[in-house]
Structure 1
């Protein structure tokens, strides 16, 4: 297997696990902490707006390549095995059937809120100087 094939497989797993978390948010057997974590990760993963815009050289892809996969991995590890298996099978069916990628308006709102908070914090710090 080539490096490129390995990267493609990894990207497919990340995509599948993001959809898995989307189903885990709605699963009745998911405990509250993994449910909240999954909701936040899914909101960010499916948001049309990135925390670090992709047009910023190198840093723009840090959230896509490092931050998001780590958050997905951590959240997946918090799920009970039976919930994970059920949600993964649903995600596999969802992706196999070619359904549209879910979108998250809440994720976009979360990213915008973070940017507003960072901007306000920077403005307050710079104003006091």
Structure 2
């Protein structure tokens, strides 16, 4: 049970750090090279596209278990420590805050538009 608790805490800290890196990539106080690395790591971690597709046995999860944490480690070390601490606090606040309905409505609208285009494309073929 202790191992599961540690794994959950580690996963929460990764999620917080990804949001903090996303914030760092947009913060004027962060050096340009740290912004570039932080933005790339956050974009890759949040992207549905993987370097190694998940359907490949064992290797598919390699990026999620190794590449992303190493990228987070590198990016967090490039951001000044006091600033990274501040960004982590802000990220924790944003994660705890309930998300609005506007995001949900936007995602549903995008899916609905995609579905409509798919139906129209299929009707043209038939």
Q: TM-score, normalised by structure 2?
A: 0.75
Per the alignment, residue 112 of structure 2 pairs with none
Higher relative contact order (CA closer than 8 Å, sequence separation 6+): 1
- In our comparison, the structure showing a higher alpha carbon Rg is 2
Per the alignment, residue 67 of structure 1 pairs with 67
Q: Using the alignment, how far apart are the partners of 1:58 and 1:99 within structure 2? A: 34
Cα RMSD after superposing both structures? 1.4
Per the alignment, residue 20 of structure 1 pairs with 20
1:7 corresponds to 2:37: no
- Aligned to 1:26, what secondary structure does the other structure show? coil
Deviation at 1:82, TM superposition (A): 2.5
Per the alignment, residue 97 of structure 1 pairs with 97
Q: Using the alignment, how far apart are the partners of 1:55 and 1:81 within structure 2? A: 37
Per the alignment, residue 110 of structure 2 pairs with none
Q: Using the alignment, how far apart are the partners of 1:61 and 1:84 within structure 2? A: 28
- Show structure 2 runs of 5+ residues with no match: 101-126
- Aligned to 1:35, what secondary structure does the other structure show? helix
Per the alignment, residue 82 of structure 2 pairs with 82
Q: Using the alignment, how far apart are the partners of 2:32 and 2:41 within structure 1? A: 14
Per the alignment, residue 49 of structure 1 pairs with 49
Cα pair distance change 1:99/1:69, threshold 3 Å: farther
Deviation at 1:43, TM superposition (A): 1.2
How many residue pairs match? The answer is: 100
